Structure 1
Amino acid sequence: MRGRQKERTRILVGCEGESENGYAVYLKRLADEKGLFVHIDPPVLKGGDALARLEWMEGYIEREEGRRTPFAHKFALLDTDQDRLTPERAVQARQLAQRIGVTVVWQVPTHEGLLVRHFEGHTTRRPALAVDATTQIERLWPGYAKGMAAMDYSRVLTEADVLRASAVEPGLLSLLVAIGLVVVTG
């Protein structure tokens, strides 16, 4: 009789779009390369803004945890560029995330802005507008386009780049700790 296999740590990473999905799968590949025993579930969230996406995610969590073991950790990669358009919904999104136990990696102002902070010498760059974030990432990453797959991330970004960004992005650091890519001591 064989011993029971250890279950992988289930981590939910809700993704604003396909770019975030590719990034989450890239993080899973980094974990696999290190022999970490995690499973990352990266659904693309449905909805028009952060609140709508988190509402959809709440239902997703209920359905998934009703069928399987609960997620050990719950995260979402969400943009902040729409916060100024509907500030009350932005506040409600943050309240909902806290209520359902989701740590949000707030991408200021977008995923492209978060990516800029992965590059050496650019960790303090915080473009105010989505168009500025896109312009900056296209300069740093020739050939960058929205909707990149995990393989595209792995061709340009290294684990050191991800760790660099996590030094200035608390939500990303929490995600890397949950995955095991960052070990907190003491």
Structure 2
Amino acid sequence: MVDLTAEIVLFDGFDELDAIGPYEVLENAAHAGASVDTELVTLEETDLVTASHDLRVEPDGTLGDPDLLLVPGGGWTSANEGVRAAVEGGALPDAVDERYTNGATVASVCTGAMVLAEAGLLEGRPATTHRVAVDDLEATAANVVDERVVDDGDVLTAGGVTSGIDLGLWLVEREFGASVADEVATEMAHERRGDVFG
């Protein structure tokens, strides 16, 4: 039996590394013995999702009720693209709020934090995002901190792009222990950066 189900929700214009970095960390953790099942999902059924640098990804299915829901960023500074379109459309923030209310731990990478803010999950909480969205995140009720990874229990945020790998490794350490996280970091030739805030 899988102890942790993780879903990374994709949308057109998401940043590739925001999603694929944590995905690879979690998949490597499973190979290292962690009881985690990770899927790339979308809100609605679709054959392909096109990311911000034109990578096309075939999702595993649609959003379910995972233990961990991760939201990538990408496209915040562009009109009608990526996170900006997802926030303005409203369906993704609503879905994130619903999963959180049902008990999921919710995490974001980069400007994915703006989805969490729109869902009302960052009110009064420490949070971080990519530098291009810091002013916008500060305009919400979030307590913006200049950190690479912020852990506030059932809501976690990570700064820009590559910090998603550190977020993934922290989640592995938190859920399955430091030895598994260290094994994954070594496998990925990744030197973890910065302490986790929280």
The structure where helix makes up a greater share of residues is: 1
Higher relative contact order (CA 8 A, sep 6+): 1
TM-score (norm 1): 0.40
Q: TM-score, normalised by structure 2?
A: 0.38
